[in-house]
């Protein structure tokens, strides 16, 4: 992709919590998202991640957990 001119890739991970991703049926696993991010970085493609803090399905704990 970079060889064809791509420099920026917008990615919507929605959450860094696997149970939230499962609840919203995102269809991704955190390990895959991390691998994708690492690979994009290694290829020199900027990857500004989109993360929703305090997704409505999350209750009780603050959204500061990593």
Each residue of 1-60: pLDDT tens digit?
778 887 777 787 777 889 888 988 889 999 998 898 888 888 888 766 666 666 665 555
* pLDDT reported for residue 11: 80
Calpha distance 63→54 (Å, rounded): 6
The token duo for 44 is 């020199």
**Virtual torsion, Cα 31, 33, 38, 44, nearest 10 deg:** 170
* pLDDT reported for residue 30: 93
DSSP 26-57: ----HHHHHHHHHHHHHTT-B--EEE-SS-TT
* pLDDT reported for residue 53: 62
What does pTM read for this prediction? 0.62
């Amino acid at each position: 992709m970079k060889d064809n001119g791509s420099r920026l890739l917008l990615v919507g991970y929605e959450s860094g919590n696997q149970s939230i991703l499962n609840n919203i049926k995102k269809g991704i696993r955190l390990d895959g998202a991390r691998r994708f991010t690492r690979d994009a970085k290694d290829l020199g493609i900027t990857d500004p991640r989109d993360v929703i803090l305090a997704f409505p399905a999350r209750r009780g704990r603050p959204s500061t957990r990593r």
